[in-house]
Chains A and B, each alone.
Chain A
């Protein structure tokens, strides 16, 4: 085993839990979170030599995790839009059905909780910066300073983002339940 591999193994061991849980906060699904975490570490392995220590290594890794999670949500959104378009046209999308029945949907991930679907839909309407700040603030282990480092912004900006995210989320959920 090379020294690079050895140090990488140690790095994975130190950060895997935090990375998986960060991804899980975004996607609400264990399998997707693990797949994303693998992508994160692959990216880390690939570009570890390019890491210039401008930030802490952990901050850099969590930033990759956040970016990958946001990309995943964007892809999911596009897929959803595309399959609903197909449904409108009248073409059945078997892939979407399989994905839905395989636990790709958060209601199954957080078992028996259809509120999770509503919550995730509402979260997905928030801007990326608000969503990230809010979700990271809900996760244990991230201080506002760390969130600020990940988002490359100031602590006060993070506080403001979290406050706005809470308010927007509340309003969106309220509007949703009022319509029911």
Chain B
């Protein structure tokens, strides 16, 4: 009696388990069936219009940006080159002026030196001796 009761209990449990498993399998199958049931969607007729607008916006803008960028870069380069040329010219002008000033000051210094040198004693002596060459010769000849 006990065994028959136990076996019926076990059988009941097994049946319940089987039913539960079947339930799960059914749910799994239903869920997986969803993929087969998905209907293909129709393309919205604005899709291509929006796409072309986006392409126009993105690629049109990009090419404009790149063109503007090129122009800006070009302008910048040109301005930089002009600045460099101006700086170089300015520097060249300044250095030429500086050299000229140096030269004139050098000449005037030389003249000054010369004028300083002329009235010196030695020159005066030489001048004097040269003024009287005969005397000098005689004195020179007198000396042994």
Contacts and interface: CB of A to CB of B under 8 A. Distances in A.
Interface of A: 5, 8-9, 12-13, 16-17, 20-21, 24-25, 30, 33-34, 37-38, 41-42, 45-46, 110, 113, 115-116, 118-119, 122, 135, 138, 140, 166, 169-170, 173-174, 177-178
A114 to B, nearest CB: 10
A20 B31 contact: no
Contacts of B25: 174
16 contacts: A5-B52, A12-B48, A16-B43, A17-B43, A21-B41, A25-B38, A33-B41, A37-B47, A38-B51, A45-B55, A110-B38, A138-B36, A166-B32, A173-B27, A174-B28, A178-B24
B44 interface: yes
A176 to B, nearest CB: 9
Contact of A20 (B32, B35, B47): B47
A166 B33 CA distance: 12
Main secondary structure of the interface of A (DSSP, over half): helix
A21 B40 contact: yes
B34 interface: yes
B35 A138 contact: yes
Main secondary structure of the interface of B (DSSP, over half): helix
Contact of B34 (A38, A41, A116, A135): A116
Instruction: Among B31, B42, B48, B58, find the residue whose CB has the most chain A CB atoms closer than 10 A.
Output: B31
Contact of B31 (A9, A30, A41, A115): A115
A122 B35 CA distance: 12
A53 to B, nearest CB: 23
B142 interface: no
A174 B24 contact: yes
B41 A42 contact: no
A118 B24 CA distance: 14
A115 B55 contact: no
Which 7 pairs of residues, A with B, have the shortest CB-CB distance? A173-B28, A177-B24, A115-B31, A21-B40, A138-B35, A177-B27, A119-B31
A30 B41 contact: yes
A42 to B, nearest CB: 7
Contacts of A116: 34
Nearest to B58: A42
B50 A45 contact: no
A59 B50 CA distance: 24
A10 to B, nearest CB: 11
B60 to A, nearest CB: 11
